[in-house]
């Protein structure tokens, strides 16, 4: 017999709802405890309260709270019950918004990459990052910029590939958000004559057609390779089934069997009367002429022997980069300023299935309707160039360009043009100047945050203050578009990089 012992726990050890609720509260308090997080090597959670928050994803919170844990945002709300012991910052009188994004910069690329000309599409901006340019990075961070897009060189036709980088501390692998974010191109940047600008458009068209032909060659190769594999498999099966019979007929005779032949001589063939002995038998074919009935068989055997593996096309890294644009995997960013150049670029977008982003777009206000109909986003250069045009292509720049494009419902972002690394310091000033010339305040703030994030394809991480997004934010002591407002604190990936 086996003895089964049933043990019943005492009543005071039985779990109940009150004990479970207390245990959950205790665990949550420990999870948010600064001491516990420090001991586990994590960043302690922090909350900023009573601040005006531009979430850029909905309404603006006049007195809101943002809770950050680690490198991401946990919650953003008007009212929030915070865990005990959490570190808080009183944001009364402060304004919080997502970290600013410079949609066209030259930082953090090296000076040689910034001024390079004649780059091919396979050239990558990520290979030219200057990871030691800390002074310029700190200067941009103090201006509220946390993310930049940088493209290498000046382009005549297609050039290199741009990169999206965060301006936090750390090595290059931690800074890069998107490698090969777009393929750069230019029309009218290095050429000023009408025929020269048209030649640049034709050069882009030629590269796109070459990439299309390159893709077709690989498609043909794959089809031929598949057909070759099928025929090869059929031949193997055929040889495998007929191999036994062929082997039997071609077996070598045992030693001595060769001599065991009929000793009787073969009867001599009689020649027709009057036939001269030519040394040739009627049954034998004449030299150089195949026997009747064997011609088709030999042709079939030769056809089988002619089965060759298709030749593999040669890999071209430049065509591979252009092909990614042609298949829609990455956008083509074309710098164009004059209205006729912009229209030529839009024709390319209609001719090929391209996702095009216009850069510069100095005369965009003249062709705003066409840009909207083509569903093309625009990255405007600094509005300050309208007062001091640096190149002939900027001579018709207008400070009201952004406002006119907004009227046509064009998606616009602002960039520092990328001619010098520290021009990003004036990004907010450009937005304020655009507002003074008719651009709405909401569109100006969006042009610095959520719109460039969407254009760059990183809207799932930055651009708005929402739960689950990266903890990138900037705190002002006043209106972000007011030149008198100062940046007091900047956070990147949950760490203070300015105003600690």
What pLDDT is recorded for position 111? 75
Q: Give residue 236's pLDDT.
A: 87
pTM score above 0.95? no
- pLDDT at position 55 is 97
Task: DSSP letter for 203, please.
Answer: H
Residue 175 confidence (pLDDT):
86
For the chain, give every residue range classified as CATH 2.30.40.10.
30-93
Superfamily of domain 30-93: Urease, subunit C, domain 1 (2.30.40.10)
- pLDDT per residue, tens digit, the chain (500 aa), is 443 433 444 444 444 544 444 444 444 444 444 444 444 345 789 999 999 999 999 889 999 999 999 999 999 999 888 988 889 999 999 999 999 999 999 888 877 776 677 688 888 888 888 878 888 899 999 999 999 999 886 667 888 899 999 998 777 667 899 988 999 999 988 777 889 899 999 999 999 999 999 999 999 999 999 999 998 888 888 887 544 444 443 444 444 444 444 444 445 544 444 444 444 443 444 554 555 455 555 555 555 556 788 999 999 999 999 999 999 999 999 999 999 999 999 999 999 989 999 999 999 999 999 999 999 999 998 766 555 555 565 667 788 999 999 999 999 999 987 667 788 899 999 999 999 999 999 999 999 999 999 999 999 999 999 999 999 999 999 999 999 999 999 999 999 999 97
Q: Into which CATH architecture does domain 100-215+317-463 fall?
A: Alpha-Beta Barrel (3.20)
What pLDDT sits at residue 119?
80
What residue ranges of the chain are covered by domains with CATH 3.20.20.140?
A: 100-215+317-463
Interacting residues of 369 by C-beta distance below 8 A, sequence separation 6+: 408
Q: In the prediction, which pLDDT does 153 show?
A: 67
């Amino acid at each position: 017999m086996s003895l089964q012992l049933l043990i019943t726990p005492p009543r005071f050890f039985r779990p109940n709802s009150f004990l479970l609720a207390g245990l959950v509260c205790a665990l949550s308090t420990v999870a948010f405890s600064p001491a516990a997080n420090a001991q586990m090597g994590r960043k302690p959670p922090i909350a900023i309260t009573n601040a005006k928050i531009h979430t850029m994803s909905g309404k603006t919170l006049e007195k809101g709270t943002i809770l950050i844990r680690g490198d991401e945002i946990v919650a953003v709300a008007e009212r929030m019950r915070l865990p005990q012991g959490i570190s808080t910052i009183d944001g009364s009188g402060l304004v919080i918004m997502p970290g600013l994004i410079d949609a066209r910069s030259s930082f953090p690329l090296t000076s040689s990459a910034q001024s390079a000309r004649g780059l091919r599409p396979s050239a990558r901006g990520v290979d030219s990052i200057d990871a030691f340019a800390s002074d310029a990075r700190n200067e941009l961070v103090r201006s509220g910029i946390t993310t930049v897009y940088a493209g290498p060189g000046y382009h005549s036709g297609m050039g290199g590939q741009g990169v999206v980088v965060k301006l936090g501390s750390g090595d290059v692998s931690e800074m890069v958000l998107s490698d090969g974010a777009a393929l750069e191109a230019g029309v009218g940047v290095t050429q000023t004559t009408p025929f020269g600008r048209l030649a640049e458009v034709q050069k882009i068209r030629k590269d796109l057609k070459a990439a299309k032909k390159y893709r077709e060659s690989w498609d043909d190769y794959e089809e031929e390779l598949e057909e070759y594999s099928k025929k090869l498999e059929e031949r193997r099966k055929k040889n495998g089934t007929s191999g036994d019979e062929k082997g039997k007929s071609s077996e070598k005779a045992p030693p001595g069997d060769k001599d065991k032949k009929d000793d009787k001589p073969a009867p001599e063939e009689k020649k027709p009367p009057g036939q001269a002995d030519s040394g040739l038998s009627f049954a034998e074919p004449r030299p150089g002429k195949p026997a009747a009935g064997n011609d088709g068989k030999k042709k079939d055997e030769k056809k089988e022997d002619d089965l060759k593996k298709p030749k593999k096309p040669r890999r071209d890294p430049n065509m591979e980069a252009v092909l990614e644009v042609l298949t829609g995997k990455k956008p083509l960013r074309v710098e164009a300023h004059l209205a006729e150049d912009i229209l030529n670029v839009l024709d390319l977008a209609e001719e090929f299935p391209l996702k095009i982003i216009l850069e510069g777009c100095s005369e965009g206000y003249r062709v705003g309707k066409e840009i909207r109909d083509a569903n093309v986003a625009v990255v405007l250069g600094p509005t300050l160039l309208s007062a001091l045009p640096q190149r002939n292509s900027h001579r018709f720049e207008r400070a009201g360009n952004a406002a006119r494009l907004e009227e046509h419902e064009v998606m616009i972002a602002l960039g520092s043009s990328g001619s010098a690394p520290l021009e990003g310091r004036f990004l907010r000033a450009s937005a304020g100047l655009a507002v003074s010339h008719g651009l709405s305040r909401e569109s100006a703030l969006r042009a610095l945050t959520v719109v460039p994030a969407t254009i760059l394809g990183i809207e799932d991480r930055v651009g708005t203050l929402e739960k689950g997004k990266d903890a990138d934010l900037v705190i002002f002591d006043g209106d972000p578009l007011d030149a008198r407002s100062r940046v007091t604190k900047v956070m990147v990936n949950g760490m203070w990089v300015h105003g600690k």
